[in-house]
Structure 1
């Protein structure tokens, strides 16, 4: 194999490796929504962040822990619009979709607040 073919193969392999990584800003936005999906006082531990089932979506698998109870495995799928890469257009958890009004309030009055930044459970 020639050097140019080896270089092209290496470049393709590195592109393929990057394709499986979710966008860091989208993952942060999705993590910031997690506290709104659990009861007050529950602790969230992010287990995995991966590309979601649709184009421009992220799936976050997490554990919900409450005192005196076993950890509960949960997940959330955040969908992003084509307007900007961090414009949340949909949020669905293992308990179902977040409705229009609740999603609107989440986007416009919570996600970019200091409270949301403090409640971000981190990348896991």
Structure 2
């Protein structure tokens, strides 16, 4: 990590915590959402979860994270995962700071990635 990167991450975490909502998101929903994060960043980027909290809609959570790449300043990012009423962990929508994930990509993510060993290994730790 470059000098000053830790200070930047600490500042990002402090800013993210200012917007924290009351209540804790469901741990299984948070796990599902964290497993989707690696699909939102370039290959080789590291993810540091800064905050996990309630999302803007009912049955949604928001994860604020930093995207880190060698030789670059950490980039603040976020993802909002929405869950259907069908089951507690049925991901029904994924939006990042770069926009929503489309239907086909969401389908592939749900059915061919989230419950795999690769997703479990790539899951960033809870923040």
For the aligned pair, the TM-score class normalised by the smaller chain equals 0.7 to 0.9
Q: How many residues align?
A: 106
Moved runs in structure 1, 4+ residues, more than 2 A?
none
Highest Rg: 1 or 2?
1
Cα distance per residue 1:63-114 (max 9 Å; x no partner): 0000010000000000000000000000000000000000000000000000
Gaps of 5+ in 1: 1-18
State the Cα RMSD in Å: 0.7
The match for 1:27 among 12, 27, 30 is 30
The match for 2:60 among 57, 62, 65 is 57
Which residue matches 1:6? none
Distance in 2, matches of 1:52 and 1:122, equals: 19
1:97 correspondence with 2:96 = no
Which residue matches 1:80? 83
Cα distance per residue 1:21-62 (max 9 Å; x no partner): 100000000000000000000000000000100000010000
- Normalised by the size of structure 2, how large is the TM-score? 0.82
- Normalised by the size of structure 1, how large is the TM-score? 0.84
1:115 correspondence with 2:105 = no
Gaps of 5+ in 2: 1-21
Q: CA deviation at 1:122?
A: 1.1
